[in-house]
């Protein structure tokens, strides 16, 4: 029976370990896919921001070239002789064209800057969302790992307490009932820590395969055996409690006789005399 329980326990532990490994592997793959998608989105946003910055730099360069051309035209107009009145309208038209082109380039520059600022804001918001999602996922994964570890710990404690109860009942005759102390200790742990972590009386004899396939019958079997074990535990605990009280009383009596022998002899003689008088 013990060998069968050990083999079943090993198979269950191997199955639980394999399931936990598969869950961890799936979670890791999902995390890697999400991180890859986030990196692709960030790369696209960075490329868009770089193109916008290049456009802004090109617009600024065109604006500078227009300003230089305007300054040159103004200088040429100033250096031209005053006797050539036909050149003045041409210079004015050139100046107006340069001003209009400069205004258009300024508007384009402002639009490009606004677009670049919008791209930067979107990128910052996306990074913040990714950071929050990562923190939330990390917290959830830690909580799930803690729950799984607690579940495994409770299962290990359940199995250990069941083995303690089996051992105690197996040596009950050889120990003249003194092994009931182990049973009482397990019952106390069950009251303190709960029955989900400590095996109840009677459930240590329930086979694990029956508990999995037919939980109702396994529970009924455990309850019946538990009633028998509770009755035996109460009787043995009461007997050993009475024996303990008698032993303590004898130790106290011998200690009093050893410390006060004369008083003990006088009291013992008085008790004998009273007993004799009660018969006559």
Please compute the mean of the pLDDT values over residues 138-156 and round it to a whole number: 78
End-to-end CA distance of the chain: 66
Supply the pLDDT for residue 248: 94
Instruction: Note the pLDDT tens digit of each residue in 50-107.
Output: 777 777 777 777 777 777 777 777 666 666 544 444 444 444 444 555 566 666 777 7
Task: Return the DSSP state at 149.
Answer: H
For 77-125, the DSSP string reads HHHS-TT-TTHHHHHHHHHHHHHHHHHHHHHHHHHHHHHHHHHHHHHHH
Residues 248 and 246: their CA atoms lie apart, in Å, by 5
Instruction: Note the pLDDT tens digit of each residue in 169-209.
Output: 999 888 888 889 999 999 999 888 888 888 888 888 888 77
Which tokens in the block code for residue 196? 């989900």
Contact 119, 55 (CB under 8 A): no
Which tokens in the block code for residue 82? 């005053």
């Amino acid at each position: 029976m013990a060998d069968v329980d050990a083999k079943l326990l090993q198979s269950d532990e191997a199955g639980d370990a394999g399931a936990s490994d598969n869950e961890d592997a799936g979670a890791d793959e999902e995390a890697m896919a999400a991180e890859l998608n986030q990196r692709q989105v960030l790369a696209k946003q960075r490329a868009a921001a770089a193109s916008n910055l290049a456009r802004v730099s090109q617009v600024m360069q065109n604006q500078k070239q227009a300003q230089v051309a305007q300054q040159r035209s103004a200088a040429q107009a100033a250096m031209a002789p005053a006797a050539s009145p036909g050149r003045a309208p041409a210079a004015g038209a050139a100046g107006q064209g340069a001003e209009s082109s400069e205004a258009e380039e300024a508007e384009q520059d402002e639009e490009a800057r606004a677009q670049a600022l919008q791209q930067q804001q979107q990128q910052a918001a996306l990074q913040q969302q990714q950071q929050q999602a990562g923190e939330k996922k990390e917290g959830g994964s830690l909580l799930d790992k803690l729950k799984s570890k607690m579940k495994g710990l409770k299962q290990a404690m359940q199995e250990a307490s069941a083995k303690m109860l089996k051992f105690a009942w197996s040596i009950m005759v050889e120990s003249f009932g003194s092994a009931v102390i182990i049973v009482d200790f397990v019952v106390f742990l069950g009251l303190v820590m709960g029955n989900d972590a400590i095996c109840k009386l009677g459930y240590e004899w329930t086979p694990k395969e029956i508990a999995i396939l037919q939980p109702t019958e396994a529970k009924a079997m455990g309850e019946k055996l538990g009633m028998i074990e509770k009755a035996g535990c109460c009787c043995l605990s009461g007997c050993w409690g009475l024996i303990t009280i008698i032993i303590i009383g004898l130790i106290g009596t011998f200690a009093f006789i050893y410390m006060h022998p004369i008083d003990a002899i006088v009291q013992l003689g008085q008790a004998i005399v009273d007993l004799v008088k009660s018969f006559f």
